[in-house]
Amino acid sequence: MRRLRKVKIVATLGPASNDYAMIRALFEAGADVFRLNMSHGTQDDIRARHTIIRQVEADLGRPIAILADLQGPKLRCATFANGEEELVVGQPFRLDLDDTEGDKTRVRLPHPEIFAALEPGASLLINDGKIRLRVDTCGADFADCTVMVGGIISNRKGVNVPDVVLPVAALSEKDRSDLEFACELGVDWLALSFVQRASDVTEARDLAKGRAAILSKIEKPAAVKAFDEILAVSDGIMVARGDLGVELPVQNVPPIQKRLIRRTRAAAKPVIVATQMLESMIESPVPTRAEVSDVATAIYEGADAIMLSAESAAGQFPIEAVTTMNNVAIEVESDPTYKEVIDSSRRIKHTSIADGIVSAAREIAETTDVVAICCFTQRGTTASLVARERPHVPIIALTNIESAARRLCLTWGTHCVMVSEVDRFKSAVIHAVRAALKYGFAVETDMIVVTAGVPFNQPGTTNILRVAPCAEYLIKQTEPE
């Protein structure tokens, strides 16, 4: 089950991908991580999918990462007496806390926290930004607005407030329940929605208690502004371009995507590019040329992972969507320009022994006939540092800790292998050689680079590097399997 590309693929599960046969087929087609969307389905539905994924993992003998995506607070208007109304540019329109059903002049917005944060001149976006209102005057229970972009407004449409940081917690009561449920279930990653500030992330981290890694979704302008602080307390980042494109001018999203990818890479943390990557494949077996270019762009930028949402969850062609992503990735990564772009974007400050070790491993691998970098890791830190270097050769991450192997399935270029605990460097190298041969990364006449930390089984001790001829260590195989 060796992948022929380094970028990872995240596939969302849903009604179209709900049974063992389909989930296994998606993994075999190229999915490395399965996303469970807590916005859709019951906890029983989520548990059933989780069970199937773990069965596929056991049957195929390969670690698989599971990402539970928390819904986040949903800000919506209330209902209209007629079901919907048409708003015309220039007309006045009021949002308030009145329980009366809405009409063409007003509607209830049952979120006093929004009114508390609004100021005159702020924008309100309704129905994914299709309607735009400008706040003229506001108070604790109302906002009188002018319609700047008109259209049809109907029951319970979503409301976005791009201009202010809302006094709204990233975790609703539903999210807290789902977070505890997902952690008890044993997911590997938690994706946190509606992040506005670093404290949103630390709250989720405190609740998770180390049972799952925290991935922050950047989908609000406030999160872009506070990105460095958010990144510092996150284990990974998702560039959620859908909501970003609603709350910001669409032309701002591509440069933001590029900046966030580079800064997350520099921090040695995984970054996912998400939303509408192959959206036409919900109904079509082939993507548009623009979608293929979008996927390719994310790969050229060095993203750790690219994500399918409705394409694999509810679309008619989930396997074809994963296969397309896989094929695009293989083609892009075989392009000489890809290596040039990745190398030119490698700007890393080396401040530790581990930084120096992994940098040396990459240099050796790229200037000799070494075919793979094998790293022993406890929490995944060493493998993440190697991945940050974006070496041209594959990375084999070896660990005796199952949770670390699964989490690393989201990290660029890593092939995760479970091994027994080792206490001597020679036995570590033998394990590395066996893994390189078993999974087709090397043949007996090849050399690999091995990194590890001595003493073994202590996180954060990466301090040794060896170039290992496979043939020599095959002769030395005195350690038990």
The residues annotated as belonging to the active site are 35, 76, 217, 275
Chain centroid, CA 450 distance in Å: 28
- As given in the structure block, the two tokens for residue 169 are 């917690």
DSSP 17-31: S-SHHHHHHHHHHT-
Task: Work out whether strand 447-453 and strand 462-469 pair parallel, antiparallel, or are unpaired.
Answer: antiparallel
Nearest to 53 by CA among 3, 19, 14, 16: 19
Contact (Cβ atoms closer than 8 angstroms) between residue 380 and residue 414 = no
* Cα gap 292→306, rounded to integer Å: 12
The encoded tokens of residue 124 equal: 């309100």
For 411, the token pair is 């990290």
Q: Cα–Cα distance between 126 and 105 in angstroms, integer?
A: 15
How far apart (Å, rounded) are the C-alpha atoms in residues 179 and 201? 13
- Asked, as a colleague might, if the bond just before 120 is cis with ω within 30 of 0, I would say no
Query: 262: which DSSP letter?
Result: H
The CA distances from residue 331 to 324, 338, 371, in Å, are 11, 10, 20
Amino acid at 162: P
Contact 378, 459 (CB under 8 A): yes
CA 291/CA 374 separation, integer angstroms: 34
Residues 200 and 191: their CA atoms lie apart, in Å, by 12
